[in-house]
Structure 1
Amino acid sequence: MKIKTMQEAENYLYNSLPVFHRQGPAAYKADIGNISSLMQHVGNPHMDRDKFIHIAGTNGKGSTAHLTSAYLQENGYKVGVYTSPHYTDIRERIKINGVLISEEDFVACLNRFLDIIEEVQPSFFEIICAMAFLYFKEQNVDYAVIETGMGGRLDSTNIITPILSVITNISFDHQQFLGNTLKKIAGEKAGIIKDSVPCIIGEKVDETYDVFIEKALSMKSTIYFSEDVWQCNYIGFDGELTKFQINSKDARQTSTMIKTNLHGRYQTKNIELFLTIAYVLDRLSIVEFNLNLIKSTLLDITKLTNFIGRWQTISEKPKIILESAHNIAGITEVTEQLKLMEFDQLFIIYGTVADKDISEILKILPLDAHYMWTKANIPRAMDENILKNTAFASGIPGESFSKVGNAIENAVKLASDKDLILIVGSIFIVGDALQYLKNNPLS
C-alpha cells in the first residue's frame, strides 16, 4: 500500500491509529518502545545530539517553543518545531521557520513508515512524532525545538538527547496518567532531564523544587530556575502590542522595555523562561546573547513562527479573543487577565473534553459573564448540555450550543462594539472557532 494524497493520509491516520486528542485515555501509550522501533526503521534520525531543545511542562510549552524557535531564526538558523495538538491542520505540528510541512512531504514521510506500522501498532502521536524527526533530519535543520505531548519520562519525544532541557511549570492536569500530586507530576516531567545536559525550570515552587534539584544532581545536570536569572513585569497593552519590563539578575544588570504581539499578562513567566533559554545558550557558547534580536523576536513572534490560538484577537468591535487555556492554572491566568481589561459585557464561549473534571475550573470562572456552553467537533468532547447542567448546578447559568460556530454566531448578534467575547476551554474549541471564522469571516 502507498498513500498518494493528503486526504488519504489523514483518513489513514485518524481511522487506523489510536488518537488521544479525539479518543482520550484509550489512545494513550506510556512507553517509548514504539517510537524507538519507528526510528530504527528509518535510520534513527533523532540521534543528532547537537540539534534538539526539549520542552516539557503543564502550561506554556507552545509559547516557549515558538519563542525559542523565533530567536534561533532571528540568529539566522533553520529551525524545526514539533508541537501538539493542532488547531485546524494536522501539518501545524511540524514546521520549519514557521512554514508548515508541505502536503507532499507529509505524505512522503508517512509512507516511509507504512511497512512497520502494522507490526508496531503505534498511536497517532507516536507516528506524527516519528515523522517530525525524519522530516527535520531530511531537511537538515540547524536546530529543532521539540515539545512533549503530555508527560516527559515516557513521552515519545523523550528518545532524544538535547542540548538543553526545559520544563515550563507544574500544575494539575492529566492526573490519571501523571499522578495526583505536584511532586508526582514533577517527577514525570523531570524525566526529560538528561545526563550532563543543562536544564531550565520555569517556576520555582516549594512542592516541586526538591524533585528537580535531586533529579539534576543525579544526572549531573546544571540546573537554572528562570526567576533567578530574569524578571519580567507586565506593563500594559497599547491597543496593538503588549509591553513588558525585563530585568536581568546577572552581572550585566540589563533592564529594558520590550513590546510583543504575544499577548496576556500570563506571558510574563514564558518570557522569563525564554530569556533564560537565550542566556543559557550563550553560556554554552551555542548562540551569543543578543538583546536586539531578543526584542525583534518578541515583536514578531506570530509572523516568525505562525503561532496562533493564545490570547489571539480576531476582531475589535466587538473584541473577540481566542485562548486555548484548559486547566486550572491556565484558566486562573485568564480570569486575572480579564480583570485588567475594559469592556461592557463579557461573553464566554466555553467547551471542554468529557474526561476532564471541571468542578474546580467552574469555581474560578467569572460569575458576571454571559455563558454559551458548546462542544468541539471531536468524539472526546463533553456534551454541551451536560456542561450546561454541571455549570448551572455550580451557580453559573448559560445557554448551550451543539457547535462552536453556532455559539459564535449568537454571541456576535448579542454583543455591542464595546463588549468582549472570549472563546476558551481547549485547543479543540479554538480550532473549531478558527475554522468557522475562516469559512464565515466577520464583516
Structure 2
Amino acid sequence: MFDTVKYNEELEYIFNQFPSYQKVGKVAYKPGIETMTDFDKQLGYPHKKYATIHIAGTNGKGSVSHMLASVLAQTGTRVGLYTSPHLNDFRERIKINGEMVSKEFVFDFILKWKPYMLEKKPSFFEITTAMAFDYFAKQKVDIAVIETGLGGRLDSTNVISPMLSIITNIALDHCEHLGFTLGEIAREKAGIIKAGTPVVIGEALNSTKAVFERVADDKGSLIVYAQSSLFKDILASDYELDLKGEYQTHNIRTVLTSLALLAQNPQFLKIVGEGWSDDNIRLGLRFAARNTSLRGRWEYLSQNPPVICDTGHNANGLKIVFSQLRRQKFKRLFIILGFVADKDLDKIVGILPKVAYYFFTQASISRALDSNVLASRCKGVDLDGLVVPTVAGAIREYKKIYKEGDLLFIGGSTFVVAEAIEFFEKNDNFFAN
C-alpha cells in the first residue's frame, strides 16, 4: 500500500528545501536556464520524445493552455498539460488528459533525484518542470502544452523546441523581474520564440508589436496576431463554454488562431489523426474546464446565494473582471478581497468597485499582504469594509449579513480563491445550515 504520510513528507521537503515563488515570492525566483539545461540532460532530454506547444503571457495563459489541452484530448490525442501555480493540490500542475500525475510518480521522482537536487540546488519550479517533462515521456504523451512560469526568455520551460509558441498578452506584472515597461516585458516573453517556429500573439499594442516583430524577424518565425486574424470578431458567447468570464473572448480568439496555424503543420495533423474535426474542436472548448479540471475562472462556488470567484490578480486582469462584475444583477455587492504583498496596489485600488462592501482578508501564506494594510489603503480611497484576517472567517461573516438579492465575489489572489474553493468543498450547502 502506498504510504501517503511519506509522500506528504517528501512533498513538504521540496517546498521547504527549494522555496517556491507561490509560497515566498521573489526570493524564490531564479532566472536563467543553465541548471534546467543540466537537469534536462541528466533526464535524457525527455521533452524531445513528444511534440510541444509553449505558452507565455501576463494574463490568459492558464485558460488558453487548458482550452488547447481539452481540444487536443477531444480528438483522441494523449495530451500532457503543465501549468502553475496550483490551487489546492501540487499535482494539479502536471496532468495528462485531465488526470493529475500520480502521487507514486511524484514520490519516486523526488527520492531518485534528491541527491542531484541537493548538489545542484535547482529552484522549485525547475524541479517541477523536470518532473513534468519526465512524466510526460514515461507516459508516452503525443503532445504536451507547456505554460511558462514567469517571463519566457529565462524561464526554465524554455529548453523545449515547440511546434508553436503562443504569447497571450502583455501587461505590467512581476516588474521587478521582467521590466517596468510593456516593451521590456514583451522582450522577456518573446524569448520563447524559436527559430523557424511560428508564434501566435493573442493581444498586442503598438509598443509590444514592434518587439515581437523584431524578435520574430531575427528568428525567421512567422508571426500571427489573433486580434487581426480570421477569428478577430469571435465572441466567447458565440461558443458554448464551461469556462466563464467575458475575458474568455480574447482567449478563444487566441486558441482558434493557434489551432488554425497548427492545422497547417503535417506533423500536427499526424498527431491528432482522424479525430481532428470542427465538432471535436467545439466539444473541447465546450468542456474545457471539465476535461482539464480547471478552477477559479469566473466560477460559481454557490448558486443560491450567488458566490463568484476569479483568479484575476493584477490590474489588467482585475479591470476586466470588475467590469463584468458591475454588470451583474444584485441589490448589494460584497467582495472578499486579498492580495499578495508584491502587487502594485496603486494601480489596483482605483479600479475596485465603490458600490461594494469589502471583507479585507489574506491567504494563509507568507507572501500575503496584511489585511490591515489592505484595509488602510482601500479606505484611503473611500472603500468601506471590515478586516477579517482569514478567508474562511470572511465567508462566515458574509453569511451573517446576507440578504436575498446580494452577490458575493471572492478574488484578488490565486491563493484567496484556492482557500475559498477549499472552504466550499468542505462545507457543502454552507448557506443552508
State whether residues 168 and 273 of structure 1, in contact with CA within 8 Å, keep that contact through their aligned partners in structure 2: yes
Aligned pair partner of 2:414 in 414, 417, 427: 427
SS in 2 for 1:86: coil
What amino acid maps onto 1:194 in structure 2? K
Aligned to 1:254: none
What amino acid maps onto 1:202 in structure 2? G
RMSD of Structure 2 on Structure 1 (CA) = 1.6
Query: 1:34-79 CA distances to partner (integer Å, 9 max, x unpaired)?
Result: 111222222221233x511000000001000000000100111010
TM-score by length of structure 1 reads 0.92
CA distance in 2, matches of 1:113, 1:195: 32
Aligned pair partner of 1:367 in 329, 354, 375: 354
Aligned pair partner of 1:356 in 317, 323, 343: 343
CA distance in 2, matches of 1:221, 1:5: 47
Whether 2:52 is the aligned partner of 1:52: answer yes
Aligned to 1:10: 11
Deviation at 1:112, TM superposition (A): 2.8
Deviation at 1:233, TM superposition (A): 4.7
SS in 1 for 2:30: coil
Identity, in percent, stands at: 41
Aligned pair partner of 2:394 in 401, 404, 407: 407
Deviation at 1:232, TM superposition (A): 4.4
SS in 2 for 1:155: coil
CA distance in 1, matches of 2:347, 2:227: 28
CA distance in 2, matches of 1:209, 1:374: 38
Superposition pairs of residues 78-93 of structure 1, within 5 angstroms? 78-93=78-93
1:4–1:439 CA distance, 2 compared to 1 (3 A): closer
1:3–1:348 CA distance, 2 compared to 1 (3 A): closer
State whether residues 350 and 372 of structure 1, in contact with CA within 8 Å, keep that contact through their aligned partners in structure 2: yes
Which segments of 5 or more consecutive residues in structure 1 lack a partner in the other structure?
235-242, 246-257
Whether 2:220 is the aligned partner of 1:244: answer no
Deviation at 1:360, TM superposition (A): 1.2
State whether residues 81 and 144 of structure 1, in contact with CA within 8 Å, keep that contact through their aligned partners in structure 2: yes
Whether 2:113 is the aligned partner of 1:122: answer no
Aligned pair partner of 2:368 in 369, 374, 381: 381
Which segments of 5 or more consecutive residues in structure 2 lack a partner in the other structure?
none
Deviation at 1:339, TM superposition (A): 3.0
Number of positions where the alignment pairs a residue of Structure 1 with one of Structure 2: 421
State whether residues 170 and 204 of structure 2, in contact with CA within 8 Å, keep that contact through their aligned partners in structure 1: no
State whether residues 336 and 359 of structure 2, in contact with CA within 8 Å, keep that contact through their aligned partners in structure 1: yes
What amino acid maps onto 2:215 in structure 1? K
CA distance in 1, matches of 2:71, 2:6: 34
Query: 1:267-294 CA distances to partner (integer Å, 9 max, x unpaired)?
Result: 1000000101110111113237632122
Aligned to 1:262: 243
SS in 2 for 1:156: coil
SS in 2 for 1:308: coil
CA distance in 1, matches of 2:413, 2:93: 16
Aligned to 1:239: none
Superposition pairs of residues 274-423 of structure 1, within 5 angstroms? 274-285=255-266, 286-287=268-269, 290-423=277-410
Deviation at 1:434, TM superposition (A): 1.3
Deviation at 1:4, TM superposition (A): 7.9
Aligned to 2:191: 191
CA distance in 1, matches of 2:407, 2:35: 46
CA distance in 1, matches of 2:4, 2:127: 15
CA distance in 2, matches of 1:34, 1:398: 47
What amino acid maps onto 1:244 in structure 2? S
What amino acid maps onto 2:408 in structure 1? I
Could you say which structure has the higher helix fraction? 2
